[in-house]
């Protein structure tokens, strides 16, 4: 399996063969402007000192301040963070916001820390990086396993160190700490707007059977949003287990079970028509729309030919590697790529930053009234660009993004 950064660079090499750009822009996009590793000492509750490794990758800032989330995971490493920062650079360009691309992370399983240890670690990450962060320099946000509460600790720590209390240094904050209404569901909602704009072109202008891998911020909100629009959610999964119901899952009940028990495990026991499903089987099941919303590299050359979905919408970053892209394209399975499909998250992060700097507070409706046309216009542009170059939507999105960065450098 390719590591995420090799996969990102394979995608870049592919687009450079499809479309001729100036050599400079491709060379520039092969490396981040800088990648930084820091060690973060944390005094644990038992009195011992533990050192954690943290990262910030500032990939490209031609279009504006670096922007991108912070991931806490035991397997997070600099290669993964570099790939995610590269995709952020393209994502901001695809939806046309004045932001560059960055990403951060800490190698840690946050479930093994107490709340006070987690707070010390999060504040420690900011302390080590406060010189390079800033509302007009580098603006982080949440990603896997990082929450609004963690963003509030980080914004507070940055304010203490620098005196900047605008909160605009970080997005995804709780509403009472300057967060934007709508940021919590923005990634899934944006994906849904992109789907709505493209569904006719994808042959999915009907009530769809939808399977979703990952049941966190992106996946669980997607399940609620697609279900509310009348689609049938036939399977969902998390890191431990999955549940399937061909007649459609009751997502509200699944959410209640997950909240009460911490996982999806055991849900199928008392539910008629419901069975357990593995992550592998979920990816390969017959459905109209498959939404990977967990991790990178879940569809590779090893399982691409077993995918039976009619279309795939990537709410996760990098869930399909470039070898699998080729297989899916040949099988006529359309992939709505991450740099378009999950860009609603960064779009509303940008709205939050804008509100903080102007000291404004938009309603949820105002946020989504701005998001919907942004997503629809970007989706249509990506589709048209791909059509002109006779390529897939990922390459269409890459062409759009790289042209925009090239014109502005």
315 binds ligand NAD (CB under 6 A): yes
Active-site position among 103, 173, 258, 310: 103
**Closest distance to ligand NAD from the beta carbon of 345 (Å):** 3
Residues 232, 212 contacting (CB under 8 angstroms): no
Choice from 61, 76, 189, 237 touching ligand NAD (CB under 6 A): 237
17 counts as catalytic: no
217 binds ligand NAD (CB under 6 A): yes
239 binds ligand NAD (CB under 6 A): yes
Region of 3-11, 36-44, 237-245, 354-362 interacting with ligand NAD (CB under 6 A): 237-245
Residues 94, 400 contacting (CB under 8 angstroms): yes
Compute the distance between CA of residue 317 and CA of residue 71 in angstroms, rounded to an integer.
12
Region of 290-298, 303-311, 361-369, 384-392 interacting with ligand NAD (CB under 6 A): 290-298
342 binds ligand NAD (CB under 6 A): yes
Compute the distance between CA of residue 389 and CA of residue 109 in angstroms, rounded to an integer.
43
214 binds ligand NAD (CB under 6 A): yes
100 binds ligand NAD (CB under 6 A): no
122 binds ligand NAD (CB under 6 A): no
Choice from 279, 297, 300, 355 touching ligand NAD (CB under 6 A): 279
Region of 52-60, 119-127, 142-150, 267-275 interacting with ligand NAD (CB under 6 A): 142-150
Closest to ligand NAD by CB, 16 or 344:
344
Compute the distance between CA of residue 304 and CA of residue 381 in angstroms, rounded to an integer.
27
DSSP letter assigned to residue 294: S
**What torsion, rounded to 10 degrees, do the Cα atoms 69, 73, 79, 80 define?**
-50
Cβ contacts of 50 within 8 Å, gap of 6 or more: 41, 42, 44
Helix (H) or strand (E) holding 383: helix 364-388
What separation in angstroms does the CA of 259 have from each of 51, 220, 268, 282, 383?
Answer: 31, 11, 15, 22, 38
Choice from 145, 189, 245, 378 touching ligand NAD (CB under 6 A): 145
Cα angle: 80, vertex 35, 90; to 5 degrees = 65
Residues 144, 187 contacting (CB under 8 angstroms): no
Binding site for ligand NAD (CB under 6 A): 142-145, 187, 213-219, 237-239, 279, 293-295, 315-317, 342, 345
Catalytic residues: 103
């Amino acid at each position: 399996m390719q590591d995420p950064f090799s996969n990102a660079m394979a995608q870049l090499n592919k687009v450079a063969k499809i479309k001729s750009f100036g050599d400079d822009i491709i060379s520039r996009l092969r490396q981040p402007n800088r990648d930084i590793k820091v060690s973060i000492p944390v005094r644990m509750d038992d009195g011992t000192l533990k050192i954690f490794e943290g990262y910030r990758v500032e990939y490209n800032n031609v279009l504006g301040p670096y922007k991108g989330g912070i991931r806490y995971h035991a397997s997070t490493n600099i290669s993964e963070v570099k790939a995610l920062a590269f995709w952020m650079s393209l994502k901001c360009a695809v939806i046309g916001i004045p932001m560059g691309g960055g990403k951060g992370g800490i190698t840690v399983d946050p479930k093994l820390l107490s709340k006070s240890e987690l707070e010390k670690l999060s504040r420690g990450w900011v302390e080590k990086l406060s010189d390079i962060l800033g509302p007009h320099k580098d603006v982080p946000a949440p990603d896997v396993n990082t929450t609004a509460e963690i963003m509030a600790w980080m914004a507070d720590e940055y304010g203490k160190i620098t005196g900047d209390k605008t909160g605009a240094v970080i997005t995804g904050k709780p509403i009472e700490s300057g967060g934007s209404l709508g940021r919590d569901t923005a990634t899934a909602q944006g994906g849904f707007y992109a789907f709505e704009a493209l569904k006719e072109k994808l042959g999915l202008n009907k009530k769809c059977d939808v399977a979703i891998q990952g049941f966190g911020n992106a996946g669980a909100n997607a399940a609620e949003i697609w279900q509310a629009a009348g689609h049938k959610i036939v399977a969902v999964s998390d890191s431990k287990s999955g549940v399937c119901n061909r007649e459609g899952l009751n997502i509200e009940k699944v959410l209640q079970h997950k909240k009460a028990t911490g996982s999806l495990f055991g849900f199928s026991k008392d539910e008629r028509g419901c069975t357990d499903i593995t992550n592998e089987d979920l990816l390969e099941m017959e459905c109209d729309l498959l939404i990977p919303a967990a991790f990178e590299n879940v569809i590779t050359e090893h399982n691409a030919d077993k995918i039976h979905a009619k279309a795939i919408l990537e709410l996760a970053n990098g869930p399909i590697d470039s070898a699998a892209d080729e297989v899916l394209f040949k099988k006529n399975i359309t992939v709505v790529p991450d740099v378009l499909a999950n860009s609603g998250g960064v779009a509303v992060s940008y709205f939050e930053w804008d509100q903080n700097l102007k000291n404004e507070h938009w309603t949820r409706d105002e946020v989504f009234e701005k998001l919907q046309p942004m997503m629809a216009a970007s989706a249509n542009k990506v589709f048209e660009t791909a059509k002109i170059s006779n390529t897939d939507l990922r390459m269409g999105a890459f062409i759009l993004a790289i042209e925009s960065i090239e014109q502005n450098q």
